[in-house]
């Protein structure tokens, strides 16, 4: 049996938990941003709101990294261009399918199916490398799926498989591709700040183009920038949920196994639920709209406990064979 040592494993776990926290913040922020869009550009439609919630954060993030690396942002290897573009494409495709799928399925179903990458990753790697990752990995995967199902109040009786469910499952495959791309050994020497810049630039180009097509007219693209609330929420998304989260992800994920990373990212819905207990009321007081806090539920406590238990199993009893992407 082969094992792979990760000297900075503990630090990586902490940094990726912080990544999940930033992603958790994004859920109530995006919801609040949608309410702002409905108020200031009501005739623009939901697709424009979706694209224009994503595009500015990646445009601004690209400009920030360009300013920070102004002397050398264009100096990168071919492998860094390739990995950054691949991650950006995987992430953009996943976001698009997830957002469209939400229009045709319940939010709880979307949350459950999106997290399927937690089991798709070890399954794919086990088939690829013809190795069994061990009982601890499979038990952790099952606990994660059970936890996410309870957390999202997933109901098997009302479940039907249509367009929304199909798109959400496919989106999970793209997110799996994003996670696995960071673990490819051929990209092991790439600099995180370079691939992050290319990733942001790729998504900025994609979503800006889509927003321009979806906008009823050119004026609609300018109106949100005149709203202080919209600017404030967009800056939160840019600084914490984009620059902060993806820089941490691209820097620290390669320092643990791909399987462990997939399980760790399932903390995202827990942090999202916790943030929804406090942030909506703050946003409501600031912006003047009605967005009440959510309340603590048994689903949050039990679902969160199962996801936490799954990660404790894999962290305290790591598999004898650490599956990662070879090339």
Q: What is the pLDDT of residue 8?
A: 82
Domain residue extents for the chain: 9-316
SS3 sequence, 264-285? HHHHHHHHHHHHCCCHHHHHHH
Euclidean distance between CA atoms 164 and 152, whole angstroms:
16
Per-residue confidence at 2, pLDDT binned at 50, 70, 90? Answer: very low
For 102-113, write each residue's pLDDT tens digit: 767 766 567 777
pLDDT tens for 217-241 read 999 999 999 999 999 999 999 999 9
Q: Identify whether the C-beta of residue 304 lies closer than 8 Å to the C-beta of residue 270.
A: yes
* pLDDT greater than 60 at residue 321: no
CA of residue 20 relative to chain centroid, distance: 8
Phi, psi of 12 (to 5 degrees): -65, -40
Q: Is the pLDDT of residue 160 over 70?
A: no
CA pair distance 189, 308, nearest whole angstrom:
32
- At 174-217, the pLDDT tens digits run 999 999 999 888 898 899 999 999 999 999 999 999 999 999 99
């Amino acid at each position: 049996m082969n094992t792979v040592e990760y000297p900075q494993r503990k630090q990586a776990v902490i940094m990726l938990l912080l990544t999940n926290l930033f992603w958790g913040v994004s859920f109530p922020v995006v919801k609040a941003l949608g309410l702002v869009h409905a108020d200031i550009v009501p005739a623009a439609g939901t697709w424009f709101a979706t694209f224009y919630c994503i595009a500015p954060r990646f445009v601004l993030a690209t400009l920030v990294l360009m300013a920070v690396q102004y002397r050398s942002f264009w100096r990168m290897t071919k492998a860094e261009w390739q990995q950054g573009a691949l991650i950006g494409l995987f992430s953009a495709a996943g976001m698009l399918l997830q957002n469209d799928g939400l229009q045709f399925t319940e939010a709880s179903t979307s949350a459950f199916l999106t997290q399927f990458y937690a089991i798709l990753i070890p399954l794919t790697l086990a088939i690829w490398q013809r190795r069994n990752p061990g009982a601890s990995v499979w038990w952790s995967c099952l606990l994660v799926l059970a936890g996410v199902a309870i957390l999202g109040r997933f109901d098997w009786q009302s479940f039907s498989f249509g367009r929304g469910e199909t798109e959400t499952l496919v989106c999970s495959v793209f997110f799996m591709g994003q996670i696995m791309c960071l673990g490819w050994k051929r990209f092991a020497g790439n600099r995180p700040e370079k691939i992050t810049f290319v990733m942001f630039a790729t998504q900025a180009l994609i979503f800006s183009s889509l927003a321009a097509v979806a906008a009823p007219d050119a004026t609609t693209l300018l109106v949100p920038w005149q709203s202080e609330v919209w600017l404030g929420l967009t800056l939160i998304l840019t600084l914490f949920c984009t620059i902060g989260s993806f820089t941490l992800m691209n820097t620290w994920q390669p320092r643990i196994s791909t399987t462990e990373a997939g399980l760790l990212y399932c903390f995202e819905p827990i942090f999202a639920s916790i943030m929804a207990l406090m942030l909506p009321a703050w946003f409501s007081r600031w912006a003047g709209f009605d967005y009440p806090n959510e309340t603590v539920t048994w689903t949050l406590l039990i679902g969160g406990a199962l996801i936490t238990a799954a990660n404790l199993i894999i962290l305290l009893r790591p598999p004898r064979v650490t599956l990662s992407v070879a090339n």
